[in-house]
Amino acid sequence: MNKDCRKMQTWSKFDTLWTLNLFGTAIGAGILFLPITAGVAGIWPLLVITVLVGPMTFLAHRGLARFVLSSEHARSDITLVAEEFFGHAAGVAITLLYFGAIYPILLIYGVSLTNTVESFIAYQLGMTPPPRIVLSGLCVGAYVVIIMIGEKAVLAFNEKLTYPLCAILLGLSCYLIPHWNLAAFSSAPTAGSILATLWVALPVLVFAFNHSPAISTFALSNREQYGEYAEAHVNRTLKVTTGLLVTFVMFFVFSCVLSLSPENLSKAKEQNISVLSYLANHFDNPVIAYFGPLIAFLAISTSFFGHYLGAREGLNGLLLKARPGLPTRSVGRERCIALFFFVTLWVTAILNPSVLNLIEKLSGPVIAMILFIMPMVAIARVPAMHRYKGALSNVFVTVLGCIVIGSLLAALLGL
């Protein structure tokens, strides 16, 4: 076997690092709120979701990675590739959409992090939380400071957090097994109720498994590392990441839904807290009481960092398109971007909007436009991507993307 073949086939530490980083980017507020949305209607819609989520996650993210790798320019990120393929005006619009898909997620994390810490102080520590304006400022400020340490430090931090997150998440899922109520399997729902649940749950599902903010950096990093074998390594890493996500996330979701009633999940939605914070307050059990908030904190942390990098890339791309003469990178500009994120996340965390409403009516559908639809449009229109034409997977991704976007249109029309 020659050296090039070995390079193509060997799994390396580089691949492991990116698998953990992609996994950490996806594991965040979505997984903490998915049981609330998908579980309100019972267990059967979850079975349908489990069948859909694996191929949906892998194929959509593979399409976005292919979009980036199809550029003639080795160092072009997703915003530059969009302009290369669709022209300047469309490139600006897509860059704006890309930023609009990721930025609201940071707002969600600001709210979720503050609520998780506030709930932990009040219920587990039995203390009076600081005023929300102070608590939210401390939480958001700490995360922005960590980001400003640098991208490499963040990736290393994510890697260290991902291992305990996986272990604790799996441990808590197993720990909940004695609390399972299997009576949920005895009542068969109607096809209409399953479809209605899927309509509401799909945007949250897209959000829960989304690691698109890291895909551009991931694809470029693989191109630099593996050259002509980049796509093969990207596909393999995405398959492993998807497998890990489906295994850990869906086991956790099933465990939560079987341990709580639909009424409990409705209360969690009303309180605007994650399912883990609700579990900690619901069960008189010190293990769940303390490990629940810990998992929520770790999950939000790993995902926040990955989404921050994507949002920073999108906002930087918008500024470059507005002022073409600016240098690609600037320390001063990155500090201004960090200040912008801090202030807006802080204000949103103080206002405390409904997290699930933000996911269902904004983040999920906008993510679908970038992650599901844009690469499929490029396959149809861009010569560099015509080699991917004709696959049934393209139809699958397009249909699901249209369904998720349809939920946004329905919400805007008040349907």
pLDDT value for 92? 83
Yes or no: say if 22 and 214 are a contact pair by the CB < 8 Å rule: yes
Phi, psi of 151 (to 5 degrees): -60, -45
For 313, how many CA atoms within 13 A lie in the half-sphere containing its CB?
Answer: 24
Distance of CA 125 to the CA centre of its chain: 30
Residue 115 located in a structural domain: yes
The residue range of the domain holding 298 is: 11-413
The answer to pTM > 0.75 is: yes
Distance of CA 66 to the CA centre of its chain: 19
Residue 6 located in a structural domain: no
pLDDT value for 2? 46
pLDDT value for 1? 44
Residue 234, C-beta contacts closer than 8 angstroms, at least 6 positions apart: 62, 65, 69, 218, 219, 222
CA angle 32, 138, 34 (to 5 degrees): 10
The CATH code of the domain that includes 317 is 1.20.1740.10
Please, what's the largest Cα pairwise distance for the chain? 65
- CA atoms of 372 and 59, how far apart (whole Å): 9
Residue 280 located in a structural domain: yes
Distance of CA 296 to the CA centre of its chain: 14
Residue 77 located in a structural domain: yes
Q: For every one of its 415 residues, what pLDDT tens digit does the chain have, with 9 covering 90 and above?
A: 445 555 556 888 899 889 988 887 787 767 777 888 777 666 777 888 888 899 999 999 999 999 999 988 877 878 788 888 988 888 788 888 878 878 888 888 888 889 888 988 888 888 999 999 999 999 999 888 887 776 677 767 766 777 777 787 788 889 889 888 876 666 666 777 777 777 877 887 888 888 887 898 899 999 998 988 899 999 999 999 999 999 988 898 889 888 888 788 888 888 877 787 788 778 777 777 777 777 777 778 777 877 787 788 788 878 887 787 777 777 788 889 889 999 999 999 999 988 777 776 777 788 888 899 999 999 999 999 999 998 999 999 999 999 888 876 776 666 5
Residue 2 located in a structural domain: no
Residue 209 located in a structural domain: yes
pLDDT value for 107? 87
pLDDT value for 41? 66
For residue 63, the SS3 value is helix
Residue 97 located in a structural domain: yes
State the CB neighbour count (10 A cutoff) for residue 305.
Answer: 26
- CA atoms of 167 and 80, how far apart (whole Å): 38
The total number of structural domains that make up the chain? 1
pLDDT value for 388? 94
